[in-house]
Structure 1
Amino acid sequence: MKVVLVGYMASGKSSVGKQLAKELGLEFVDLDNYIEQEQQNTINGIFQEKGEIFFRKLEHQMLSKVLEEKQNMVLSTGGGTPCYAGNMNTILAKSDHSIYLQLPVMALVNRMAIEKDQRPLVKDLSEDELAEFVGKHLFERRNYYSQATLVLDCLDKSIEELITEIKQELL
């Protein structure tokens, strides 16, 4: 079984993905980590050295590769992954289940404010700027995310509650 998690930065893709994989007895793959291992460079390093266009092409190649190579996994994608290079179509065609972890703007802002230092795209933004940034991105990306086979409202739910809901849909 191939399960792909999509959603905005800080929506819980990695946290939910690790636990879901464990409970389903599947491998967990974080696409950003996979890219970093394959390239022997950080995502930030790739962005700085080669630019976003190069990164998005690479991301598409790595997404296709991991979906071809691995038969049983839970894959956590980057927040922008579904929105470029036909990646959402690739996800829908090459996975058994795709799940959009959906949260409203302010819930995402609150989560991101706590861990801003680990998120280079937003670390220098004020809270108002962060809310505007997330709102704009979410407006642009929601159409891609919403194509997932399951849209999961994650507001005020624990990881355990989300895993239970996902397992009810998958099994």
Structure 2
Amino acid sequence: MGEGKNIFLIGLPASGKTTLGKELAQKLNLEFIDLDDAIVQKIGMSIPEYFQYQGEGNFRLREKEVLHEICAIKDGFVVATGGGAPCFHFNMDTMNEHGETVYLDVNPGDLALRIMEEGVENRPIFQSYDQMDLIQEIRALKEKRKEFYNQSKIKIRDNQITVDQIISNLSL
């Protein structure tokens, strides 16, 4: 895999975007960028704090700005996006124009387990749910976001997605 190849991992929270993104970048000798981490660096506070003080609308604008900055100045990267990133400000179009988009489609029940195990503190949209309500909320969120996620160039549906599955689906 050479310079110039960009890969964007999209999907619901806890679908493995960051974990798989780091491993994928290492395996393909590309730079790894966590979009949420890049946003935190730009805004100077955690995402839950920003949501609380500035609201989701302002957060989505910062997210768009950072995504555009990454696409404008970098090449040869793997980006783990936030779960909502594809759904706002034509971000999905931006990602499709600048690289391969890979939708990690994981069962809502498995996502709920992962979120509960790691704690909901870092996931502002899920902080007020118990596990059963969380599954329902994830299903609703998946339904709401599917029109954006389904615009991805590659879709991988599995509950234990691997880097090798992603690589075998990429047009390298």
The alignment's TM-score, normalised by the length of structure 1, stands at 0.91
* Equivalence for 1:167: 167
> Quick one: distance in 2 between partners of 1:120 and 1:55?
12
Q: Is the counterpart of residue 4 in structure 1 residue 3 in structure 2?
A: no
The percentage of aligned residue pairs carrying the same residue is: 32
Q: Match for 1:75: what amino acid?
A: V
* Equivalence for 2:42: 38
Question: Residue 60 of structure 1 is aligned with which of 59, 64, 68?
Answer: 64
Q: Match for 2:19: what amino acid?
A: S
Deviation digits for residues 81-109 of structure 1 (CA, Å, limit 9, x no counterpart):
001111111111122x1100001211211
Aligned residues: 166
Q: Is the counterpart of residue 129 in structure 1 residue 142 in structure 2?
A: no
Structure 1 residues without counterparts, runs of 5 or longer: none
Q: Is the counterpart of residue 98 in structure 1 residue 83 in structure 2?
A: no
| 1:13-162 paired onto structure 2 within 5 Å | 13-95=17-99, 97-118=100-121, 119-157=123-161, 162=162
2:51–2:124 CA contact under 8 A, matched in 1: no
Deviation digits for residues 85-139 of structure 1 (CA, Å, limit 9, x no counterpart):
11111111122x1100001211211211212243333233111211111111010
Deviation above 6 Å: which 4+ runs of structure 1? Answer: none
The alignment's TM-score, normalised by the length of structure 2, stands at 0.91
Please identify, of 2-11 and 31-40, the stretch whose mean Cα deviation from structure 2 is larger.
31-40
Q: Match for 1:116: what amino acid?
A: G
